[in-house]
Chain A
Amino acid sequence: MLLVVVEEQAGSLSGGSLEAVSCARELAEGSAEALHAVAFAENTDHAADLAAPLSKYGVAALHLLTGEAMAEYCPELWGRAIAELIEHTDATGLVGPASDRGNELLAHAAARTGQPFASNCVAVEPGEVWTLTRLRGGGILLEDAELSGQVRIVSLAQGAVEPVEAATTHEVAVREFTPTLGESLPHSSLAERTSRGSGITLATAPVVVSGGRGVGSAEGFAALEELAELVGGAVGCSRVATNNGWRPHSDQVGLTGTKIAADLYIACGISGATQHWVGCMGAKTILAINTDPEAPLVSRADYAVIGDVHDVLPAVVERVRARREAAAS
């Protein structure tokens, strides 16, 4: 039997969970095993909400982890709970989304069962050993690898597979499981959670106007902020801008910053080093503004303007305003 960890989002399954379930179903079918899902009692109220989509995706049973400690996220206890469920159900594999929480949980489950874990996979094939491809450095390189162990644990990179519903569906049996957890397991506890509210975040903004060394100074970002504001976008930056103290790290796009998924990415004075590229390659359309026509980001962009960002951006802002005024009158 294979287990797939699912995450709840807005009363249904998160997109990453659907992808993980689809991938896990193929693995289960390929090795003629049943597929069961795992969720935490944080979601008990939603058990019915989860069971319906899980049924469409070919899951046979949903294990709900219950008990006091399962109501609030705790990496050590939740990881231990999954480890106990693996033992209880004799699962031979565990799949989950490679979200921040997903990777953390699977790492804990792997450490606590003493089993191998391949993170950020983009393809997984069943077999005596699982053959897989995973992302290294956020996608700078691909790694083909083999995963062998009593229990194989993998996390699936976002967007790696299309969620596909199953040809045949089952009634999903919901089963509760209360882990023992052990009295003395060292663990952290959540002391405080503050929610940001509904502002635009870099990770989800439809447009990101981003600046690098070419912007020249913290003040230089005023023009980027103006354009972002005009088009309802967020401001991003390269690591050079962060390291120079021009922008907070929360604005950084890239391997060690944020991975964006914007419809449009406007990169101003950014060369496009690989560690930056892996953060912005998920954008649908990329526009580069750069004095150097040979810059890597210019070659990889859909559109480019060759020129000084200090000339180009103010002109763009002015034209956007002019066009809006013309349309309004």
Chain B
Amino acid sequence: MDVLVCVKRVPAPGGKLLLTEDGLSVDTRHLGFTIGPHEECAVEEAIRIAAEHGGSVTVLSAGPPETEEQLRYALSMGADHGVLAEVGATELDPEATAAALVETIRTLESESKPFDLVLFGNETADAGHYQVGVRVACALGLPIVGGIKGIELVGGQARVQLKRDVSDGVEVYDTPLPAAAAVKEGLNLPRYPSIKGRLRAKKAPLRTLRPTPEPGGLRTVRLRQPPEKEHATVVLGHGAEAAEAVVDVLAEKGLV
């Protein structure tokens, strides 16, 4: 089972996000970066699948050279190979992102063999386009289901069962391999990298490819802060003494 996981480098803000002066991007000078939580679960799942069924885990990201940090993090968790599709610092639109990933995956597959399973996050934590995985899977001719919170290989590794929550229950999809899935946080609890893993990842070679995607039809004009509702917080009191006032609020809502 050779598994490919696509991850994106995204800012990890604690509080409010600051924007650059031209409003075209997030001011990341004082921010840390991370892999989105959905995608971290995808990496974890890939490592577990390869450990159980044999095979390898490749992690791929399209982004600026600094994306090395996120690729090495995935390697420190236990992924085998890291591939950077270097596309510069300006965020690509979702069609161009998908095209860059497809071009890179085709190159990788032409050198060895097709991946058995390709994992995506359900949506990126920053842009949240809800489509890059679907576009890549379509271009590669793979079936793909989103919102996945359970992956199980069946039929002697010929098929995969994909489970997801829907508003009123659970759905399980069955598909032959090779296949793709877009997963959600909750699929598993990602591990913390071990010291040994970190040391190994530090020295591991990374592959860099430079795809040249055409821009798509969605063009960002500017980013802005959502309007903040002007309002004052009513402080009901301090400690246990505030309990009576809390019950008043509950009563107002018809809950007592």
Contacts and interface: CB of A to CB of B under 8 A. Distances in A.
Interface residues of A, number: 96
A147 to B, nearest CB: 6
A140 interface: yes
A142 B225 contact: yes
B243 A312 contact: yes
Nearest to A274: B13
A144 interface: yes
A152 B65 CA distance: 33
A49 interface: no
A101 to B, nearest CB: 8
Contacts of A76: 143-144
A137 interface: yes
Interface residues of B, number: 85
Interface stretch (B69-77, B82-90, B168-176): B168-176
B209 to A, nearest CB: 22
Interface of B: 13-17, 19, 26, 36-38, 93-95, 98, 125-131, 134-135, 137-139, 141-147, 161-162, 165-176, 179, 184-186, 189, 216-226, 231, 233-247, 249-251, 253, 255-256
15 contacts: A75-B146, A107-B134, A137-B127, A138-B128, A141-B224, A144-B220, A144-B223, A188-B145, A189-B173, A196-B168, A264-B250, A287-B246, A304-B234, A306-B242, A312-B246
Q: Is the interface of A mostly helix, strand, loop or mixed?
A: mixed
A324 B247 CA distance: 11
Nearest to A149: B217
Contacts of A242: 186
Interface string A110-132: 11100111111000000000010
Contact of B231 (A255, A273, A302, A315): A302
A303 B37 contact: no
B130 A119 contact: yes
A164 interface: no
A270 to B, nearest CB: 13
A303 B218 contact: no
Given A147-B218, A256-B37, A316 B147 contact: no
